[in-house]
Structure 1
Amino acid sequence: MSRLQVVSGKGGTGKTTVAAALALALATEGKRTLLVEVEGRQGIAQLFETEALPYQERKIAVAPGGGEVHALAIDPELALLDYLQMFYKLGGAGRALKKIGAIDFATTVAPGLRDVLLTGKACEAVRRKDKAGRFIYDHVVMDAPPTGRITRFLNVNDEVAGLAKIGPIHNQAQAVMRVLKSKQTAVHLVTLLEEMPVQETADGIAELRAARLPVGRVIVNMVRPQVLDAADLELVRSVPRTAVAQSLSAAGLGGARRGGKAEQLVGPLLAQATEYAERYALEHEQRAVLAELDLPRHELPLLAEGMDLAGLYELATELREQGMS
């Protein structure tokens, strides 16, 4: 597994949940992962049922086997102060700029600067080592922007390196791109078995490949259990209404008389079966589209009880069992 795991996906597909579960899966057996949030939504804190994340790395969970998950919500303003201190040693002058609003102005107005700071901070965590020369984190997992802008987000440092031909900004941008375009990085896309998310996933993969960014795996989230297969559905379509009513009566659901409870249940039951058949056909079609992308694919179940911390650990176990660790 690459050291930087970038997780993107169309809004509503559960990419933050998948990123959190992946961080837990990678931390199993004594490893350390850093889960990075870049959109300022505090979704990670909500999933792990903890207080809002500050701009500092903090342990938020223990994985099976004693591993640790740390988390960081990157604040672009504070990241810019770090950047100015690192390269220009501004110190108190940097804090003064923040007080007068210059830092906020810069991160809001300067094209691409916000994304440069976010990707730069994540890549710094990937490269960071302790005094013994060992990596601080075994893996860094980034809950990244949605599929529609992931390529521009990751590729912004290429543009910056082209604009700043020399100096620390140019060198920093190149260092970030060396991480993002190497085998150290994998960009995973989260989708649902629905037409629009699958199409956006296919488009996103094409854009990433065109930009020479490393595409990882497709993760299909919230997969409903398969109750009937194709043969069973064919039987449902052809079974006579009277036979269904007789079976219901035999099971004790209403009397056998015409217009009784058993007959009243036939319509809703067959309607539900038809709805399931349509969904089954749609999901079958979308799986075929995903298969054409020629990427490893993983599926995570729809949790009937909803998403909570226990569910997060359950999804992490699923990812480990499917080889994402």
Structure 2
Amino acid sequence: MSAQQHAAPDPTRLHIVTGKGGTGKTTVAAALALALAAEGRRTLLVEVEGRGGIAQLFETAPLPYEERRIAVVPGGGEVHALAIDPELALLDYLEMFYKLGRAGRALKKLGAVDFATTIAPGLRDVLLTGKACEAVRRKDKAGWRVYDAVVMDAPPTGRITRFLNVNDEVAGLARFGPIYNQAQAVMRVLKSAETAVHLVTLLEEMPVQETVDGVAELRAAGLPVGAVVVNMLRPVVLDDEAVRAVAEDRRADVAKALSQAGLGGARRGGHAERLVDPLLEQAREHAERVALERRGRAEIAALGLPVHELGLLGDGVDLGGLYRLAESLRTQGVRG
């Protein structure tokens, strides 16, 4: 029996990752999938926006519309990935419920599939979320779950509640029949204890505010909120005393602190002395950033949610960096 069959089930099986554009939500989703795949578990990483970000992160070819293994983690865990194509998902749907077969493919050639998902965006979202929810519930012939967890790289925070609240979106489209039943089945998963919506943010004013607003909207819609992931944290160069010295414009103390931090010397009359003013300006900018980050942390803490923090990868995000972020999440208690 495999490790995944021995493992105690985690109540959260569908992890939906959202965040304001530019906060690194795709990177966090990928790192989360790796973290959850530890100890022999298997995760599915789902992409719904068609940007190809997952393939780039894992340095692999563009993902087809099929589940494909893209990573193996220490302990034998696996990450599989799927890029959901709305048109192909609709053809699957038509085949499943209406057995259209060749007729469905003909509809695609005629452009009817694209037309349908354009005039009924709620249907598109049902198809996208429905595919992920199906993977959450899928079992093999022996009755074991095929995936221990499914991670969805979801749309940005500003659209996430509408994207997930498919029940309302299809209400004007269908009040009975297969589409309605599909929406109901999707909402049963999305509003259950099996699901958690995680929000990725930076410690900057706009992303923090969008996170706060997003949490309020999700809660109002009855959707389960998971954790907040503070991404791309930069190291603090100056200690609290140095920050206070900057705020009080204590030149000598600031120059000494900068020198101790390796940012320049303070010997009067030398080259280092001429660096003090530009270094002081940098210190003021740093102090302002520290103050802004503290305010952001306070706003996030007020949400009453678990918070995980990931440091900025100075050389950019490569595959090695992705594994380091996954390990950081695991050290902060993220487990499958």
- TM-score calculated relative to the size of structure 1: 0.93
Q: 1:35 aligns with which of 45, 48, 53?
A: 45
Match of 1:285 in 2: 295
Count residues in correspondence: 320
Read off the aligned partner of 2:291 and give its amino acid letter. Answer: A
Residue 167 (structure 2) aligns with:
157
Q: Aligned-pair distance for 1:151?
A: 0.2
Moved more, 78-87 or 112-121: 112-121
**Cα distance change on mapping 1:163 and 1:228 into 2, 3 Å:** same
Distance in 1 (alpha carbons) for counterparts of 2:157 and 2:308: 18
SS at match of 1:187: strand
Equivalent residue in structure 1 for 2:72, among 40, 57, 62: 62
3-state SS of 2:238 partner: coil
**Is the 2:67–2:81 Cα contact (8 Å) retained in structure 1?**
yes
Q: Which of 240, 258, 264 matches 2:251?
A: 240
Aligned-partner Cα distance in 1 for 2:316–2:152 = 23
**1:161, 1:171 within 8 Å by CA — same for their partners in 2?**
no
Map 1:185-204 → 2, pairs under 5 A:
185-204=195-214
> 1:274 & 1:54 partners in 2: Cα distance?
49
Residues 33, 151 of structure 2: 8 Å contact kept: yes
**In the alignment, is the contact (CA less than 8 A) between 2:208 and 2:296 conserved in 1?**
yes
Deviation at 1:269, TM superposition (A): 1.4
> 1:265 pairs with 275, 284, 289, which one?
275
Contact (CA 8 Å) 2:255, 2:266: kept in 1 or not?
no
2:147 to 137, 155, 166: 137
How much does 1:139 deviate? Answer: 0.3
> Could you state the TM-score of these two structures normalised by the residue count of structure 2?
0.90
Q: Is the 8 A contact 1:13 1:191 kept in 2?
A: yes
Aligned residue in 1 for 2:5: none
Q: Percent identity?
A: 74
Give the whole-Å Cα distance in 2 for the aligned partners of 1:128 and 1:315: 28
Contact 2:63 2:83 in 1 (8 A): yes
Does the 8 Å contact 2:202/2:232 carry over to 1?
yes
Once the two structures are TM-superposed, the CA of residue 261 in structure 1 deviates from its matched residue by 1.4
Given that residues 5 and 139 in structure 1 are in contact (C-alpha distance below 8 angstroms), is that contact kept between their aligned partners in structure 2?
A: yes
For the aligned residue pairs, the C-alpha RMSD in angstroms reads 2.0
Structure 2 gaps of 5+ residues are: 1-9
Give secondary structure in 1 for the equivalent of 2:200.
Answer: strand
Correspondence list, 1:303-314, <5 A:
303-314=313-324
SS of residue paired to 2:155: coil
Task: Say if 2:179 is the partner of 1:172.
Answer: no
Contact 1:158-1:174 at 8 Å conserved across structures: no
Task: Give the partner amino acid of 1:82.
Answer: D
Residue range with higher mean Cα deviation, 45-54 or 105-114: 105-114
Is 1:108 aligned to residue 108 of structure 2?
no
* 1:206 paired to 2:230: no
Q: Distance in 2 between matches of 1:141 and 1:254?
A: 49
- 266-275 or 229-238, which deviates more: 229-238
The structural deviation recorded for 1:219 is 0.4
Q: 1:158, 1:173 within 8 Å by CA — same for their partners in 2?
A: no
- Helix, strand or coil at the partner of 1:87: helix
Q: Which runs of 5 or more structure 1 residues have no equivalent in the other structure?
A: none
Shift of 1:157: 3.0
Give secondary structure in 1 for the equivalent of 2:309: strand
Matches within 5 A, 1:18-29: 18-29=28-39
* Closer, same or farther: CA 266–199 of 1 in aligned 2, 3 Å: same
- SS class of match (1:227): coil
- Retained in 1: the 8 A contact 2:242–2:254? no
TM-aligned CA deviation for residue 242 of structure 1: 9.7
